[in-house]
């Protein structure tokens, strides 16, 4: 586990799963209800993108 000092130096990407992790091909306006159907699996598929933008923690 990271130490408190290590966490202080991290850049943290905050995720709201149903908004930020939409399934492939879904547009931002494709919310069938009050939620947008994002999933943990969709987030997993975007981890390289998140890391490439400079974030070091999710």
Write the CB contacts of 23 (distance below 8 Å, at least 6 apart in sequence). Answer: 37, 38, 39, 42
Of residues 35 and 51, more confidently modeled: 51
Report pLDDT for 8.
94
The 3-state DSSP class for residue 18 equals helix
The neighbouring-strand residues paired with 12 are: 57
Q: What is the pTM of this model?
A: 0.66
Residue pair 29/52 in contact by the 8 Å Cβ criterion: no
């Amino acid at each position: 586990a990271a130490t408190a000092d290590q966490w202080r130096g991290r850049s943290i990407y905050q995720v709201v799963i149903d908004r930020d992790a939409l399934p492939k091909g879904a547009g931002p306006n494709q919310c069938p209800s009050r939620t947008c159907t994002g999933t943990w699996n969709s987030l997993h598929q975007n981890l390289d993108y998140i890391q490439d933008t400079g974030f070091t923690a999710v």
